[in-house]
Amino acid sequence: MKDKKQKGQSAHAHAVTQLQQVAELLRDAYAPEDRERFDAAIEKLSEPDQVHEAKLVITMDDGSEQTFTAFRSQHDNARGPYKGGIRFHPNVSKDEVKALSTWMTWKSAVTGIPYGGSKGGIIVDPRKLSAGELQRLSRAYARFVAPFVGPWVDVPAPDVNTNGQIMAWMVDEYEQYQLETKETQVENPLATFTGKPLGLGGSEGREEATGLGGVYVLEALAEKMAWEDPSEVSIAIQGFGNVGYWFAQHAADRGYRVVAVSDSKQVLFDENGLNPSEVIAHKKAHGSLTDETSKVITNEELLALDVTVFVPAALENAITKENAGSIKAEVIIEMANGPTTPEADEILKQNGVLVVPDVLANAGGVTTSYFEWVQNLHGYYWSHAEVLSKLEPLMKQALIDAWNMKVKSMVTMRMATYMKAVKSVVDMLLLRGRV
């Protein structure tokens, strides 16, 4: 019983299940003489190329030493350098980074950018660290990954509880490591990390890119669903961090009605629509989404709201077989990574809920990271408007391609998206002769 429970909770098992489902749909598309190699490619993609692990020891402010476990999973680089974020969270695990690196491979392939997938993290609650301790831990992580990252090898970025400042510390440490080891750096070392502050080679638009990319997907989907009046489209958002906030703000700016948002503590609801900028300002000023006049509901009630669109924008496995049946939304746009378990996916399918998968919906972040990487390598920087003008068509076309595949193959949006992404990776593995 224990093993069954652990397997059910495994994010990597979730990712492998999805891959196997897609493989069944794709296999017959390959000629009989290529199917053995196809099977070998799927087997290879079921595990990362390598997973690095280390114990990082840093000196705390009181002079004591503390050890933190760190990971970097590099899933596949057939289509280009490994690419993926770094998260600081108490729930980081080897299993989690393996899953997230797998999803990053598909996410890069969905919009056609020339990357593979990776992901890293440290088991830590960064809220318990001082600014000095956080910097020392960030630099220790950069030292750990320095031998196996680089502009053409693996390009890390921010993720949960990391930001531009942390990337600045990491890229600075990476540059110092290179000087000390006297390694030749042909390309700009700033291109090793994306999500950096503007002054250190960051890109305009990066902060809002993931949330905004999701709204571009929403706009393209609205045309397919024949939603003519945005104000008639109600949206509930689980998670009001960077991604959830920017999705809410850009959706509201376009006239969509954001009726609920939540953080880890509470859920704010207003059927007439919320003003996301006012909500975030209140949270920054008072540490809470709500005041004494606000209507507060539970997370269970949030999932069960009768809305047009539900947006999970928190952590993985938020939608499970236990709660999927209560979801009344017509559409789910997954802005978190892996928010829906395979068992929940099947329930949503049976209930006619259209799910736009994470690897498509939240690909705006990695796509804009690609723009930052290109700008660093060329030493030429684009305006905010230029960045968004490049992001919008890529995101909308990715949705259109997935929709067309869904209609053609009579599968779910998730399967349609994965079919396109996995096939492009498998084809590259076959082309390179790696299987």
Cα–Cα–Cα angle for 240, 243, 248, rounded to 5 degrees: 65
169 lies in the same domain as 275: no
Asked if residues 214 and 220 have their Cβ atoms less than 8 Å apart, the reply is no
The whole-model pTM stands at 0.90
Q: Count the domains in the chain.
A: 2
DSSP annotation of 403:
H
Q: Assess whether 111 and 66 both reside in one domain.
A: yes
Q: Which residues pair with 88 in a beta bridge?
A: 122
Which whole number is the average pLDDT over 257-268?
A: 93
Q: Which two tokens stand for residue 378?
A: 């060329």
Based on the domain organization, do 120 and 221 belong to the same domain?
no
Question: pLDDT value at position 9?
Answer: 57
Looking up residue 45, the CATH number of its domain turns out to be: 3.40.50.10860
Any idea what the CATH number is for the domain that residue 283 is in?
Answer: 3.40.50.720
Q: What is the pLDDT of residue 195?
A: 94
Residue 320 lies in a domain: yes
Q: Which of 298, 322, 352 is the last residue of a domain?
A: 352
CB 193 within 8 A of CB 171: yes
- The 10s digit of each residue's pLDDT in 201-244 is 999 998 899 999 999 999 999 999 999 999 999 999 999 988 99
Predicted confidence band at 7 (pLDDT cuts at 50, 70, 90)? very low
Q: Which residues are catalytic?
A: 119
**Is the distance from CB of 20 to CB of 47 less than 8 angstroms?**
no
Q: To the nearest whole number, what is the mean pLDDT of the chain?
A: 93
CA 432 – CA 267 distance, rounded (Å) = 49
Same domain, 173 and 222: no
Partners of 57 in the beta sheet?
Answer: 67
Q: Residue 186: its pLDDT value, please?
A: 56
139/224 same-domain check: no
How confident is the model at residue 184, as a pLDDT?
Answer: 61
**How many helices, marked H, and strands, marked E, lie in the chain?**
15, 12
Which ranges of 146-229 would DSSP assign to H, the alpha helix? 164-181, 206-225
Tell me: the pLDDT tens digits for 316-339?
789 999 999 999 999 999 999 889
- For the cut 70, the answer to whether the pLDDT of residue 27 exceeds it is yes
pLDDT band (50, 70, 90) for residue 183 = low
Q: Which of 336, 352, 368 is the last residue of a domain?
A: 352
Q: Does residue 400 sit within a domain?
A: no
Helix (H, G, I), strand (E, B) or coil at 60: coil
Residues 215 and 154 in one domain: no
Per residue in 409-423, pLDDT (tens digit) is 999 999 999 999 999
Phi, psi of 245 (to 5 degrees): -65, -50
Helix, strand, coil percentages for the chain (3-state, nearest 5): 55, 15, 30
Q: Look up residue 395 and give its two tokens.
A: 């995101």
Block residue for tokens 């920054």 = 284
Residues 242 and 167 in one domain: no
pLDDT band at 8 (very low <50, low <70, confident <90, very high): low
How far apart CA 53 and CA 39 sit, in angstroms, is: 29
Task: Identify which has the larger pLDDT, 367 or 290.
Answer: 367
d(CA 404, CA 331): 17
As a whole-number percent, the residues of the chain with pLDDT over 70 amount to 97
Place of tokens 């736009």: 356
Lowest mean pLDDT among 113-122, 209-218, 292-301, 374-383: 292-301
Domain check: are 263 and 149 in the same one? no
Q: Dump pLDDT digits (tens) for 61-98.
A: 999 999 999 999 999 999 999 999 999 999 999 999 99
In a domain, 416, yes or no: no
Domain boundary (352, 367, 398) is at 352
| Residue 430 placed within a domain | no
Domain coverage including residue 94: 2-185
Q: Are residues 92 and 36 in the same domain?
A: yes
Q: Which two tokens stand for residue 153?
A: 């090898």
User: 258 and 171, same structural domain?
Assistant: no
Shared domain for 220 and 93, answered yes or no, is no
When pLDDT is averaged across residues 173-184 and rounded to a whole number, the result is 84
CA distance linking residue 241 with residue 202, whole number of Å: 20
Whether the Cβ atoms of residue 258 and residue 248 lie closer than 8 Å to each other = yes
